[in-house]
Amino acid sequence: MATVLDDIISGVREDLKTRMRAIGPVQIIEQAAAAPAALDAAAMLAAPGPVKIISEVKRKSPSKGELATIPDPAELAGSYEAGGATAISVLTEQRRFGGSLDDLDAVRERVRIPLLRKDFMVSEYQMFEARAHGADIILLIVAALDDRQLHDLFQQSADLGMTALVEVHDEHETERAVELGARVIGVNARNLKTLEVHREMFGKLAHLIPDDCVKVAESGIRGPEDIAYYVSQGADAALVGEALVTGGEPSQAVRTMIEAGARARQGVA
């Protein structure tokens, strides 16, 4: 039976064909080469200091439907940056998440911190496209890729100077990510095949991830308490979407999460 992830990816491949007809492979490679160099996001995420918040521009999702209209994604990203976010995640998947590369462009013009192109990466073309539109980080979802694809896209991200956030949801996927040599590994609490959230997954998998990797807790983070919980479980960073786009006061929300993380690390949460 086709999973939600399979359905999303077949839509992604359809939309990809349309974009490839408009801008061919030679052209996209040239555009990627002409873009200013990517920021070293892995180093910024690995730097000492409080928990790193990756704040997401997210309009809707397959699990929750409409979350926020976000008429001005650059404005939202600017607020995240002002609140102390280490990086901004911009969903570019159109059908299920209501994002676009235009959003990525708009955010790139506004902020100086690293940008994650959040999409379902299944082809080399998308990697050049990410770089051409100013992304510093790309997402590789282990569940969506076979070993060959995972290896090739990981290598390509390095060749383009980008950081790969390698996303896992179970033990086997975590082993594959570690074997790959990933420096930044995200544990997605949401199973993309069923959309169920399992917040305990981070704690179950974190010990399989070497200490010199950045450990990112992803999805289902409702507020500062969840940040404190993940920090106590060893998270170096957290990726937050819904709670920031629906809560109002995005700057303050980011700030409060960072403070909660700092308190948890000192053991006074």
Ligand X SMILES: O=P(O)(O)OC[C@@H](O)[C@@H](O)c1c[nH]c2ccccc12
Instruction: Point out which residues bind ligand X (CB under 6 A).
Output: 56, 58, 118, 141, 167, 188, 218-221, 239-243
Nearer to ligand X, 218 or 236 (CB): 218
Beta pairing class for 137-141 and 163-168: parallel
C-alpha distances (whole Å) from 155 to each of 61, 89, 127 are 29, 21, 11
State the catalytic residue, choosing from 89, 157, 191, 219: 219
State the catalytic residue, choosing from 93, 173, 218, 242: 218
State the catalytic residue, choosing from 52, 58, 60, 215: 58
Q: How far is the CB of 209 from ligand X (least distance, A)?
A: 16
Report which residue's Cβ sits closest to ligand X: 241
Q: What angle do CA 239, 164, 129 make, to 5 degrees?
A: 100
CA distance 201 to 199: 5
Task: State phi, psi for 240 to the nearest 5 degrees.
Answer: -125, 130
Q: How far is the CB of 189 from ligand X (least distance, A)?
A: 8
Nearer to ligand X, 108 or 117 (CB): 117
259 is catalytic: no
Q: How far is the CB of 48 from ligand X (least distance, A)?
A: 24
204 is catalytic: no
Q: Is 133 helix (H, G, I), strand (E, B) or coil?
A: coil
Long-range contact set of residues 97-100: C-beta below 8 Å, sequence gap at least 24 = 97/58, 97/59, 97/60, 97/61, 97/62, 98/59, 98/60, 99/57, 99/58, 99/59
Q: How far is the CB of 187 from ligand X (least distance, A)?
A: 10
191 is catalytic: no
30 is catalytic: no
Nearer to ligand X, 74 or 253 (CB): 253
58 is catalytic: yes
CA distance 182 to 55: 21
Nearer to ligand X, 117 or 183 (CB): 117
State the catalytic residue, choosing from 129, 167, 173, 242: 167
Residue in the structure block whose two tokens are 């930044």: 184
Q: Where are the beta strands (DSSP E) in the chain?
A: 52-57, 60-61, 65-66, 87-91, 115-118, 137-141, 163-168, 184-188, 214-218, 237-240
Nearer to ligand X, 81 or 242 (CB): 242
17 is catalytic: no
Q: How far is the CB of 173 from ligand X (least distance, A)?
A: 13
232 is catalytic: no
Catalytic residues, by residue number, are: 56, 58, 118, 167, 188, 218-219
